[in-house]
Every structure is written in structure tokens, then in C-alpha cells.
Structure 1
């Protein structure tokens, strides 16, 4: 374990890697699904060589921003830590970004240098005339023979000839990276994340999962998001444990990867957990070392399958966002299906408040989740280029998450939904994500989105509507789906309207844009209430 693990205000991941590599340089750390592997010493040396390459060969200065447009790999880790050692700022770019979404982030950060996988170069090249700041592409892998653009192109492997960087170490308050939050009504916003903020996320995982040196992490979520980079990879650096990096999540290989890697820990999103659950059962479902899984959200149906079918002893959840880290975590040995967990109260303060007045609400009543840090530089330093948005989010000296939740008398916090995505029907607040978790398990359904549409003459309340994307070759019978869903859901959460769609509208980071679905209304949709009346 990192020697400063009990001093969160002084922690940085770069210092944790340096300390680990100094004491155990030959210890295995990373193996990726592309066949590369790093000991801790190799990771440190590779990262410091890359820092030197950026500065001495490419002219990148401390505090300058460098884009990282890469999929999970050992090279991506060395790149990100190398930028950190230089005291520059890594801009973590989602590999699914295209066109206007990619242009916005590249130009918003005024990126002059981008490290990019060879397979992704074409997406930057397509914007050649719209990126006035870009001057250098560092290409990982075999670059295309001819790529149009006004920039200089160099190979990532050229960094191996550089001497390791020996400049000043980054401090907890320095900005380690920028991650963009997906916007539904406007452009995504860059979140300025200090080194301490990033390390604090990994520290939370160590406490929540009770990580020991006997553990190993299987990381299949992307490193351009905080879950993969800090909750998982960051925790391995701080705890001094190995990890297996999957280039991209695959439900069909998930179990084989878990077994082959010998992993004891992994994380899921709600959708990845559902995709794993939907795989056909096998005789190997319990033949692995996985002892704990952290999934957000963690519906009771999912938790039961991971415990009973896969034999995972502890299935936990948590709550957080890029701006605040993870202030709420589950606990080993304390099953809490559907709930997020308990606040790490020595590091964060949580308030559940009326979203209109910011006045705290009683235990058991839903309100907006407000957060503020107790650790210096344990939060974002603001939104890049939009100070007004930073001030707006920090109203009344609390960061407003925009998420609804409730806390019981024992302090257990349950995430309800995005406030704007809550559905209120028959006097009950309905979580869209919970409806989706149930309906998404029905046969023939590939994806589902639940959202509110206005109920006629119901005093401003809502009806539940579903947008459904069928699996390949499936034919959806709306009446049958409404019947099956009605049998599984509480009466107040039964969907009234259902519509089949070829695909769901999503942001660049894959979040469903319910606002667009709501605008489309219920006209022409299957109406379970009137059909039943007939």
C-alpha cells in the first residue's frame, strides 16, 4: 500500500506509482488484451520517458493540455501518467467521439498535441480544416500511409529513446486531467480534475472493497472515464495490486477473461451488468476468483444474479460523478440492493435537499443530492471556459448534482434518478433506470428507455412511456411486452405507452437523451390502457 494512503490531502497517483516502482520494480502491474504487459518499474520508466519526449522533443510545457484519444492499453496508461509527470494536463477523449462532438472538445481545450491510436487518426483527419490549434499527432500503432492535415505526425514508440523525465513532481492541487461531461441541452463541459481529486476516487475504492495485496482488478470500462481510470486503475496503483486491461467491454468474453486473468475485483455499469446477465448460463459461471463487483446502479435483480448464478460474494454500488468523485460507496458484507451506499463522511458532506429551495428534507424523503468536500482539492477545480456554470453548480456553497436521492435513518442513500428524468405517477416517484432494468430483461429487447409523458387531466402528473429497440431478428409484440412488464413492475410504474425504434438517441458518451424522446410525445405509440379497454 502507498505510504500516504491515510493522508488523502497529500496523495497523487504519480507519487504512488513512483514509490511502488522504487520498492518493487519487478512486480507485475498491467497486462492488456492486446498482448502487452508492464511491471511497475517498466510502467514508471515508460511514463517518465514519455514525459521527457513530450517536453524535449515536442515542446510541450508544464500545465499545457495534451489530448489522449486512445482505447484501453498499457500504452494509454504510460501516456496518461507521462503527461502527469510533466505536470501537464491530460484531456481524456472518448473514443466514440466523431465530427462536431470531437471538434468541440479539441477546440475547447485548444489542443496542440494529441496522442491517438492509429485506428482513430481518420476521425481527426476528417476535421483537418477545423482544428486551428493542432500542430502534432503522436500516433500509437501503425499510422495510415497518408493522412491529410497541417500537423506534424510522430510515432509514439519514438519516446523509448528518451531519457526519463526528472522535473518537479506534480502536487495534489495541480490539474491531472480534464474529462468532459455529456450535455443533453448544450455542449459538453470540461471538468478540471486535480491530482488529489483523482487519487481520492481510488482511495474510496480501496476502503469500500477492502482491497488487499491479494487482489487483482479486471478493468473493462474505458480509461477515458473516471470509473476505469481512477476507481479501478487508480486503486491498483495506491494498493499495489495487478490489473488486467480489456481493450473494450465484451459480454461474450467477460467470464472467460475473469477466469483467465484470475481477477478478484471488477466494476460494471448497469448496462454492462445486464449484458453479462443476458449471456447463456454455463458450467463455468462459478469457476473463478471474483469476490466482489461494484456496479452503478445495482438493481436487486442484477445483484441476485451475480450472487446466485456467478457466486460473487459481495455486490456493491456507489454514487458519484466526474465533478465530485465518488462520495457514496457500498460496504463489503452489507448487502444493499437498489441503494448506492453510505457517505465517506471523513472526506465528504452530503445533504438531501429540496431542489427548488436547497432546504434539507427529512429522512426517507426524496430530494436533490448535494455534496461538498472535506479534503482540500478533493473536488473538481471548475468547468473549463464556463465559469458561470461552475458558479451555478455551487449554489449556496453546495455542489448540485442534479440527481434525486433519499437517505434513511441509518444513513443509507438511494439514488432515485436524474431529477429531470424522474417520473411522477399516482403520487409516486418512479425511477426510469429501475423500469429499464426490469423491461430490459424481457426476451427480444436489445435496449429500452423509460421516460415521462404528460398524463391527460392528471394534475400535472405523468404516464410511463417506453422506447424499445428489438434484438436482431426479434419481432416485438407491444401488447405482450406491456403485459409482461406490468406483471414485474409495481402497479404505479406500469408503462402505458410503448414505441418501437431502430435506435435510441444518445449523447457522445452513450447516455440516453430522454429529453428528445419526451419531445416526440406519445402520438402514434401503442397505448396499453386504451387497448385493454377495447
Structure 2
């Protein structure tokens, strides 16, 4: 069977059986493609015995990027099950909610993450055991002797893809939304296999390529844009437990990596490492991702000799924009048929964006709207969230929730995200969730959380607090909140006597975002790498927030602060 005929991920996994070339690298370990397929088959056989009859065949995976992650993805595909990627930056009740919401009957983790489970209200006894079953949930700890013993009887299993169909759920990937709680986007085997084939064709992936997976596999980026095309093309993969800027180039050379994906500020972190004369001596030929920014993309290519291709898409799969030759600087790509920018209130198409000679968007108020797919959409819905699904499918179209503008030639420019969404270091966050946590602060009479632009890419978290504010006490308060994720702490805190409201008595978030850090009220901030807050000064603004350390923004970076470029 040719790879182009393989319509399920299970078929792609099974195709590796009998291929004894090296295919997976992790630290000092190398596995053949056959060993990876055999490992997936053994775990699929184990899973068939673990999942209770009649239950949703869902497993949670709370792992770093170890060989266990792709083998459990393959196991789920072979078993007709679905993987919920559990985010280890989540904490407390919110982490428990993710596991319970996706109805996981098996949770795969490792000893390093066991402390995250302590004290959670989950239907099991002690999460310290490597394999316990209470209340229908089974916990497997992959780096325990008990786990090896549990797998041993299934070591001779062969991969059988016959039970899988393209319509089987395979991924439940969390994405933040306006309701506060993350939504679990559904991705079937057919969609993931098709995405893998498409990207493998687009980037001419060959069996002798090696895909470097350094982004977390609980995100769709690593699985959909990195693992899937490697699987579809028969290429190898190299795993990094967690992203490391200092280890990036050494890994690339050690594994002979030719392709990698990135999100958020990963490219900036790599560029911040000490340059070396031999930086261009590497096997990479392509990087694919989002939010690198035109300045950093150019600097990366100049330093490492590697072209970065920016794209737009999401785990939901409802809309995608691909870069192509001729795309103007700052643009994401040309709008495919069906993609339009609409005024969300009137559903009318926004007029074309107009830029002046300096690249400033001069008609942002009219040109910026929501990106909508009015054509066929591969969006497959959310797990147990009909309200959010209906919001995405208004008028029979797919509404992305993201702001764009489109020029007269059809090129799209990213202009921000919806009111309640933030993207910090590649993490999608919900402002409502952060507000609920900050509202516990004793001095706060009211709290509003919103995004302000990061100097390079993505967002930073800003909060306005009405009431009393003690910077030392506030920093201490944040450290004691069990459900405050590692990306959620506000970078900036504006302190007001009374929260500004609209005529309908709602918090005037648009005004707060428009004013950003340049406002008449006191603003406290937490410099990068520090935990304590201090008053934001004009020197801080000029040096760290808007000044020489902040690269010049292109049109695609024009966003929330009034949707107009900032004046210096």
C-alpha cells in the first residue's frame, strides 16, 4: 500500500513494522522504526484490556516529550482510542478538570509529574501507585518497574490497523476560549493523516529526513505539524524532553535534524544564545511555525542559513493560511477560497487594508475584523461543549475568533485575538480564568485581565485591579495559588480606584486594552526573570517595553492597543 492511500494514522503506524532503520532518537537512545511500531502495538493490546467496556476510549497523556508519547499516540490509533494531551503547566482543580472533562479512563504519566496530581479530586485512591484502578481511572507511571512488568505480556503483539476508521477520534487537544474553561478540540484519524500527507507534500518530506520535536506534544503544533508529516512520509523523529534554546543546535547536529516546528518566542530564545562562527554548519533545511515575526525570521535565516515558514492554523482545523512565495513582509499568506474578514456585528466583509509608505495600517478600525471560513471546514467540533461549538459555527460558517485584515491583493495580516484570549510564549490562555484567580486577592474590589502586545511576538498578561494593591503582598499571593499556571501571572498591573465601565455597566475592556501600559494610573510590572513587582517607569518603557530591545513591528503586529501602531 502506498503512503498516499493510507487514510488512518493506524495504517501509517503499522507501515513501520519490519523497517529496521533508526527512526526515533531521544537523548542517548535510538529506536528503529520497527521498535516504535512494536511498542505502539504492545501498548494498544494493553489498552484494550485496560479500557472498561462501554466507556469512552479516552486516555490522558501527562508526559514530557519522551518516546512513550509517540508510542501512546500510535497505540491509541491502533486501538481506536483518543489521546487527551494534558498540559503540565496547569495546576490544581483546573488540571483535574481537564482530566475529568475528557473522561479519561487511563492516565499515562511519569514520576516527575506525580506531584501535580497530589491532592486533586480525581476518582482514584493514591496517585503514587504505578497502576491502580478505583472509580474507573487507571494511572500508569511509565518510568516505574511495575509499568515494565505490566507491558511484558503484550510484547509480541503486532500492529493491526483494521479496526481503525478515518472517523475515529484520535486527539482531544485543549484550546482556550471565551467561556473561561479550555475546550477540547476533536481531531479524527482521517484529519490527522490528511494533515500529515499535506504537510509532507508541501515541504517535500523524505524518508531520510529527521523531524526535531522540541515543542510540547500536549499541543497540536508538535503532533499535527511535526509528528504527523514525519509519520506520513516515513521520516524519523528526534525528541527533546523540553525545549532548550541552548541545546537546540547541538541536538540538531547530533540527530541530523532537517525540519522542526516552533511557536511563540522559541525563535527569539534561540537567537539570544551566543553566536558562533559555525552556526550555519547544520543539517536543517526548514522551520515551520507561528509568531516568529519577520525580524526574527530574517535574523534566524541569516545566522543559521535556515528558512522559516510562517503559517496560521489551530488544533480545531477550521481555517488555515499558508505562506507562499511572494507573500509580503508581515503577511501570513494569501487567503484561500472561502476565507474572508468580516465585521462580527454586521457579518459584512471588511474593506481592504491600506498601509502607508512606512508600513502603518491607516484604516485599522474599518479593515480589521474576524477571520471567517465560509467554505468547507474540517472543524470536527469540541468534546462535550455544544455552546462553544455553536459559537464557532455561526451562520453555517467557521468563525476563528482571531482578528485579521486583508489587503487588496488578498494577503492576510494577523491583527490580534478575541477579547478573552491571550497567547503567551505559545500558550493560549483565557482571561476569565486568570480573573477568577486574581479575584481572590484580598485588596481587589474588581479585576480585569487582558492582553497587551509582547515586544516581539504574542501577548503579555496585563491586569487592572480596582482597590488596594501591595506589590510585595501581591507577588506572595500569586505564589500560593494552586491553579495559577506558569504563564498566567500578570506581567503588568494597573491600579485604579474604580473600574471603568460601559453604559451597560460592563467593564470597559476595549478602553483598557487601548491604553495598555501607557495610562494615567500607576502601573506595576514584573521584569523578565523576576518575581517581585516594581513601578513601571518611562525608562523601563523606552528600554524594555517599546525601546531598543523591542524589534520594529510590521503590519502583522498591529493589534490591541486601539488597533493602531504605537507612537514612540
- Structure 1 residue 256 corresponds to structure 2 residue 250: yes
Cα distance in 2 between the residues matched to 1:292 and 1:207: 14
Q: Is the 8 A contact 2:248 2:270 kept in 1?
A: yes
- What secondary structure sits across from 2:313 in the alignment? strand
1:506 counterpart residue number: none
2:140 counterpart residue number: 138
Cα distance in 2 between the residues matched to 1:481 and 1:106: 41
- Show CA shifts across 1:308-364 (max 9, x none): 12221x221011111126621223x5565432223565xxx3221112222222332
State which of 339, 342, 345 in structure 2 corresponds to 1:356: 345
Rate the CA distance shift 1:204–1:339 in 2: closer, same or farther, 3 A.
Answer: farther
Q: How does 1:141-156 map to 2 (within 5 A)?
A: 141-142=143-144
State which of 310, 320, 326 in structure 2 corresponds to 1:317: 310
Unaligned runs of 5+ in 2: 125-133, 354-366, 423-450, 461-486, 502-507, 519-524
Rate the CA distance shift 1:287–1:190 in 2: closer, same or farther, 3 A.
Answer: same
Rate the CA distance shift 1:62–1:15 in 2: closer, same or farther, 3 A.
Answer: farther
1:478 counterpart residue number: 537
- Greater shift after overlay, 91-100 or 475-484? 475-484
Q: How does 1:383-532 map to 2 (within 5 A)?
A: 383-420=382-419, 432-433=452-453, 435-437=455-457, 462-465=514-517, 467-471=525-529, 478-484=537-543, 485-486=546-547
Superposition TM-score, scaled by structure 1 size: 0.75
- Greater shift after overlay, 50-59 or 462-471? 462-471
Q: CA RMSD in A?
A: 4.0
1:305 counterpart residue number: 299
State which of 65, 68, 71 in structure 2 corresponds to 1:72: 65
Cα distance in 2 between the residues matched to 1:252 and 1:462: 37
1:202 counterpart residue number: 196
Cα distance in 2 between the residues matched to 1:448 and 1:338: 28
State which of 312, 318, 333 in structure 2 corresponds to 1:341: 333
> Per-residue deviation at 1:237?
0.6
1:379 counterpart residue number: 379
- What secondary structure sits across from 1:200 in the alignment? helix
Cα distance in 1 between the residues matched to 2:183 and 2:526: 30
- Show CA shifts across 1:275-319 (max 9, x none): 11111212232111112112311312211210112221x221011
> Per-residue deviation at 1:204?
3.8
Rate the CA distance shift 1:285–1:214 in 2: closer, same or farther, 3 A.
Answer: same
> Per-residue deviation at 1:104?
0.2
Cα distance in 2 between the residues matched to 1:58 and 1:324: 28
Rate the CA distance shift 1:192–1:439 in 2: closer, same or farther, 3 A.
Answer: closer
1:26 counterpart residue number: 20
Rate the CA distance shift 1:67–1:256 in 2: closer, same or farther, 3 A.
Answer: same
Rate the CA distance shift 1:489–1:252 in 2: closer, same or farther, 3 A.
Answer: closer
Cα distance in 2 between the residues matched to 1:111 and 1:154: 22
Q: Is the 8 A contact 2:375 2:397 kept in 1?
A: no
